[in-house]
Structure 1
Amino acid sequence: MVPEASRAPSRLHRLAERSPEITGAEIVAELVPPPQFEHASFESYRPDVNFPSQLEAVGRLTAFAEAWRPQRPGGFFSRTRKAPAQLPGIYLDGGFGVGKTHLLAALWHSAPGPKYFGTFIEYTALVGALGYAAAVRQLSGAKLICIDEFELDDPGDTMLMTRLLGELVASGTRVAATSNTPPNSLGEGRFAAIDFLREIRAMSANFEILRIDGLDYRRRDIEGHSVAVEGPELDRLVAALVARGANVTEDDFGSLIRHLSTVHPSKYIKLIAGVEVIALTDSYLLTDQTDALRLVAFIDRVYDAEIPIIATGVPLAEVFDEEMLAGGYRKKYQRSQSRMVALTTGELPPHD
């Protein structure tokens, strides 16, 4: 946070007035772990002693990282000893809240550069913004590509990422990934390794699977309840924040949804640059899936940036209609609902 005394006077901004531009280099520069994982390490991971697979995962990832460490010179016999063969890819398969993202970020921090860390959506947005060939050129030469929340519900995007990873792995890049499989309830939908291997069948032989058992350490309901305020309360809160010099945006929910359709998802990170609080008025139930998926991508960027939201109308976690929540993108919507709860209650949890 910028100290109060050093802040320039602010005015109320609208996200719908912003039309950011972003270059390929800028997109790639954003492919780093979220701020909450800036210092993630294997040592700072706290495995649950009731689930040995968590400690085992730390050991396997540490071994995976050994490939980047220079080998110490040894004696005569050491010159003939080969390092253990390793697959170029590793996949962390586990439920919601077992620390997969922490471990992925710890692996990223242990690797030399160039290296990249992003969600599946960020990588597909990069390809969408630059084109396939240019995206390959941007990522070529990377020592490590980390993909958090690998999406398995869009065949086209999955094939695109499989092709991209295949080219990068062939050139010497190593890959680490997690999946986005939050359970409906404890014990349901917890593991996705079979789905992952099936969907990336052209690349499956390159991946070692690490299954991480455990309970959600947040011990909270994934669905939860997001908080909506009344119009006068939103006005009061926004006025107080602006008076303090906070960088606040206020938009009509419908206007923001329409504006998101004019901004490529790769630019959402710049759309919210410098924003400290987002205010939305008159949120309503979405019935168009394209609008809903744009909102999911936007909320992902807001969540990573840890920007709280104040909203009126329908509580944000309830803006997806029943047909969407029962459809093929159900897991995306569930994840977004969980994040909307955190953003509107002011209780931003660590990533899983």
Structure 2
Amino acid sequence: MQPVPDYGLSVVEQLRAMTEAGTLQPDRHQFGVAEKLDRILTEFKARKPAAKKSALGWMFAQRRKQEIPIKGLYVHGSVGRGKTMLMDLFFKLAPVEKKRRAHFHEFMADVHGRIHAHRQKVKAGETKQADPVPPVAAALREEAQLLCFDEFTVTDIADAMILARLFTELFARGCTLVATSNVEPDNLYRDGLNRGLFLPFVDLLKKNVDVSTLDSPTDYRLEKMESLPVYIAPLNDAPKMMDIAWKRVTEGAPEVAVTIEMKGRTIEIPRAAGRAARFSFRDLCERPLGASDYLAIAKRFDVVFVENIPHLGPEKRNETKRFIILIDALYDASVRLFASAVAMPEALLTEKKGTEGFEFDRTVSRLFEMRSADYLALHQSKRQNHDGSVT
């Protein structure tokens, strides 16, 4: 979560300088992944700049000669091993004019939004192209030749069913993909509904990326963790403590109920004061909300309170999925989180199996890091950049 310094012209050089300076511990596993990222950098540098592309739309883009993409990289491994740091180093150095780094949930929310907008154009008679995927893929390619996804994961059937077609188009147009994940490609969307229809994407992915494991022996997130009193468990004194924290954060600002407009519908925010919002677990995870809703909340608020997080058993599978996505959205936006729960993060999930079991390891790690001094310092820095004040 720390800003990435500029130490050199390759990922390996930057890692070496950071270890020599004492910023990082030497880790041969990280250097192995860095070498693979540098292979991609070298191939980008060797290619001549592409001719300036036409902005006349997807129909002209479709006629262009298909480009052979540079083979990307998919890095998977346990949480806290440095995957995100390495991708940040790589992304900063990538000599590509059009590149995009995003959390995978954010990217897919954008894709679904574009598909919806195209279908509205079809209904309005503004286009005769009934299939939205080719024009959406063409538009994405016009904006980015390099796509970098942090925490690549597939839990939503709507995402699963579109990925093969979307990335067939993107790879054919020369997109290169670099991604980090907690799971290897063969375990993506494991136990998901109609998973057989998703498997062509797994095959397509493995043809277009090298797959690398990063499983260092050290969890660097936990090593740096410095806990602060922002996660309260168990629930005995939680209401009183949350009230005290709420009063301190809002500093007497008037509390109101607000709504966020989302494509013809609204997200209800029961308690808001300035750029702070307060929810119960039920408000956020027992209602039919998705990644786009949580991203909108993370964009609107700098501080979020979530109260009364329960144990998450098999009977709460949907709620568990939503909670995982919620924490991803808040974490990626550096939102300051205050939470009260029935148990500490590692004890919330009562039965670890299937996709949720894999994904919840990341959630536990992020809940710990969101209590650390490093995370709160980053939150404050971003808050200052937003409007010159600190929450």
TM-score (norm 2): 0.61
Distance in 2 of aligned mates of 1:149 and 1:313 = 25
1:255–1:264: structure 2 CA closer, same or farther, 3 Å change rule?
A: closer
Provide the residue aligned with 2:182 in structure 1: 180
Q: After superposition, where does 1:158-173 map in structure 2 within 5 Å?
A: 158=160, 160-173=162-175
Provide the residue aligned with 1:105 in structure 2: 88
Q: CA deviation at 1:331?
A: 0.9
Q: What letter is aligned with 2:86?
A: L
- The alignment-based identity, stated in percent, is 22
Q: Deviations over 1:43-63 (max 9, x none)?
A: 543467865343243233223
Provide the residue aligned with 2:43 in structure 1: 67
The answer to whether residue 278 in structure 2 is matched with residue 294 in structure 1 is no
Query: Which of the numbers 192, 204, 223 marks the counterpart of 2:206?
Result: 204
Three-state SS of the structure 2 residue aligned to 1:338 is: helix
Q: After superposition, where does 1:63-102 map in structure 2 within 5 Å?
A: 63-69=39-45, 87-102=70-85
Distance in 1 of aligned mates of 2:79 and 2:347 = 22
The answer to whether residue 311 in structure 2 is matched with residue 285 in structure 1 is yes
Q: After superposition, where does 1:212-251 map in structure 2 within 5 Å?
A: 212-218=214-220, 220=222, 227-228=232-233, 230-243=238-251, 247-251=275-279
Query: Which of the numbers 362, 367, 372 marks the counterpart of 1:340?
Result: 367
Distance in 1 of aligned mates of 2:6 and 2:322 = 29
Three-state SS of the structure 1 residue aligned to 2:354 is: coil
Q: What letter is aligned with 1:220?
A: L
Q: CA deviation at 1:68?
A: 3.0
Provide the residue aligned with 1:23 in structure 2: none
Q: CA deviation at 1:266?
A: 2.0
Q: CA deviation at 1:144?
A: 0.3
Larger displacement relative to structure 2 (160-169 or 198-207): 198-207
Provide the residue aligned with 1:139 in structure 2: 140
Q: Is the 8 A contact 2:75 2:211 kept in 1?
A: yes
Distance in 1 of aligned mates of 2:239 and 2:214 = 45
Three-state SS of the structure 2 residue aligned to 1:330 is: helix
Three-state SS of the structure 2 residue aligned to 1:69 is: helix
Distance in 1 of aligned mates of 2:43 and 2:200 = 27
Three-state SS of the structure 2 residue aligned to 1:151 is: coil
Q: What letter is aligned with 1:129?
A: G
Q: Is the 8 A contact 1:320 1:333 kept in 2?
A: no
Distance in 1 of aligned mates of 2:97 and 2:47 = 18
Larger displacement relative to structure 2 (273-282 or 231-240): 273-282
Alignment RMSD: 3.9
Kindly indicate whether structure 1 or structure 2 has the higher relative contact order, using CA contacts under 8 Å at least 6 residues apart: 1
Q: After superposition, where does 1:22-61 map in structure 2 within 5 Å?
A: 36=2, 42=11, 43-45=13-15, 46=18, 51-61=27-37
Q: What letter is aligned with 2:207?
A: A
Q: Is the 8 A contact 2:221 2:365 kept in 1?
A: no
Q: CA deviation at 1:302?
A: 0.7
Distance in 2 of aligned mates of 1:155 and 1:216 = 34
Distance in 2 of aligned mates of 1:330 and 1:138 = 35
Q: Is the 8 A contact 2:101 2:147 kept in 1?
A: yes
Q: Is the 8 A contact 1:296 1:332 kept in 2?
A: yes
Q: Is the 8 A contact 2:311 2:343 kept in 1?
A: no
Distance in 2 of aligned mates of 1:264 and 1:153 = 11
Tell me, which stretches of 5 or more residues in structure 1 are unaligned?
A: 1-34, 73-84, 182-191
Q: CA deviation at 1:343?
A: 2.7
Q: Is the 8 A contact 1:250 1:280 kept in 2?
A: yes
Q: Deviations over 1:98-151 (max 9, x none)?
A: 322122122222232321222333333333333362642441232101122222
Higher helix residue share: 2
Q: What letter is aligned with 1:272?
A: A
Q: What letter is aligned with 1:139?
A: L
Three-state SS of the structure 2 residue aligned to 1:322 is: coil
Q: What letter is aligned with 1:88?
A: K
Q: CA deviation at 1:87?
A: 4.6
Distance in 1 of aligned mates of 2:345 and 2:156 = 22
Q: Is the 8 A contact 2:77 2:215 kept in 1?
A: yes
Q: Is the 8 A contact 1:94 1:212 kept in 2?
A: yes
Tell me, which stretches of 5 or more residues in structure 2 are unaligned?
A: 49-67, 116-131, 189-198, 254-273, 378-391
